[in-house]
Amino acid sequence: MKKIIIALFFLLVTGYVYSSDGGSSATFLRMGGGAKGSSMGEAYSAVTESADSIYYNPASMFFAKSSLSFNHMAYIESTYYDTLYYSKKVNEKSAFGTGVQYFSYGSIDETDPSGTKVGNYNPKDMALTFAYSLKINSKYSIFDNGGVGLSLKYINTKVKDSASAFAADIGFITPVMKEKFRAAFVVQNLGTKMKFDEEKENLPLVFKTGFSYIPLEDLLTSLDLVFPNDSDFYFSVGSAYRKKFDSMNLVLRAGYNGVNKDVEGFSGFNFGLGFEFNKLSVDYAFMPYGNMGSGHRIGLSFAF
């Protein structure tokens, strides 16, 4: 187990150093995994609530219940973004999962040099993910009962021609204070370059350090420190308050996503709510993007 932790630390540091390269493609990979995380400002790498964990941190998948999660996001103009994740606990020591991300740019007119329409095309992005999470048993209390995780991705993006790449997410999570305080470390999108004709572009590599804390029984707070490869450091914070009723729970969520700090107008402050029934939850997130418009994401999760 000590060797696993050392290897994970090395990969995390390697990812951080590599992130100094500028420019990237397939940026849809940074658009979040679901309505729950989005409404909390995407500060979700140390949160362990559903199959969306496959996106935010494959290590935390082990702590979540086996579940199926679908999310649809109506984005700017006619674009939309969908995710589908499935996670399954194999036993008390491991879990696996799979997922799909799909982003559509809608229909775009194709014109000749004179401006005459000659057709249209439908650009799109897609990623397939396979993930595995393993429980940590260690003599060191800070690592014991934590988790490590790995996800492998096939990524394809198409405008008129297409390009593909392969990538991995590597994650670590540990319960520093039993169930009240967790710390997480994640590298996302560490992989090959996308090749368009003769030009190669980096994937949107991200290094994250995350924390979640439960100060009260029904209140969850979270913080992510984010180091992207093509922009400056930023942070995200989130919170979720759960009100219990006889037949359901109402969850109110809010967060701030620092990636939008330079967008003109009101942006970065996300809001949402969820309705939790026996095994089904319905969630909604509102994400303003200032003068660019706003995004709306709705999610359905089924635990089993």
Tens of pLDDT, residue by residue over 123-132, are 899 999 999 9
Q: How confident is the model at residue 2 (pLDDT cuts 50, 70, 90)?
A: very low
Give 12-27 pLDDT, tens digit per residue. 433 333 334 456 788 8
For 235-271, what is each residue's pLDDT tens digit? Answer: 999 999 999 999 899 999 999 999 888 788 888 999 9
Around Cβ 171, how many Cβ atoms within 10 Å?
A: 30
**Mean pLDDT over residues 25-35, rounded?**
91
Q: Where do we find the tokens 């090749």?
A: 195
Give the pLDDT score at 23.
63
Q: Is the dihedral of CA 71, 98, 125, 121 positive or negative?
A: negative
Q: 7: pLDDT confidence band, cut at 50, 70 and 90?
A: very low
What pLDDT is stored for residue 149 in this prediction? 96
- Reading the block at residue 21, the tokens are 């390269």
Q: What is the pLDDT of residue 199?
A: 78
- Longest Cα–Cα distance of the chain, Å, equals 71
pLDDT higher at 293 or 169: 169
Compute the distance between CA of residue 233 and CA of residue 53 in angstroms, rounded to an integer: 22
pLDDT in tens, 85-110: 999 999 888 999 999 999 998 877 77
Number of H helices, E strands in the chain: 3, 18
Contact 145, 177 (CB under 8 A): no
Residue 49: pLDDT band (50, 70, 90) is: confident
User: Average pLDDT, stretch 286-302?
Assistant: 92
CA–CA separation, 211 vs 259, rounded Å? 18
| Nearest CA-CA partner of 184 in 153, 205, 204, 213 | 213
pLDDT digits (tens, 9 = 90+) for 188-221: 999 999 877 777 889 999 999 999 999 999 999 9
Bigger pLDDT: 230 or 168? 168
The pLDDT tens digits for 54-87 are 999 999 888 888 999 999 999 887 889 999 999 9
pLDDT in tens, 262-282: 788 888 999 999 999 989 999
The predicted pLDDT at position 17 comes to 38
Domain ranges of the chain: 2-232
Q: pLDDT at residue 178 above 80?
A: no
pLDDT at 141: 67
| Dihedral pair phi/psi, residue 106, rounded to 5° | 80, -170
Which spans in the chain are helix H? 2-18, 35-39, 53-56
Work out the mean pLDDT of the chain and round it to a whole number: 87
- Ramachandran angles phi, psi of 66, nearest 5°: -60, 130
Q: Give whole-number Cα distances, 257 to 70, 107, 208, 272, in Å.
A: 22, 29, 13, 14
What pLDDT score does 183 carry?
94
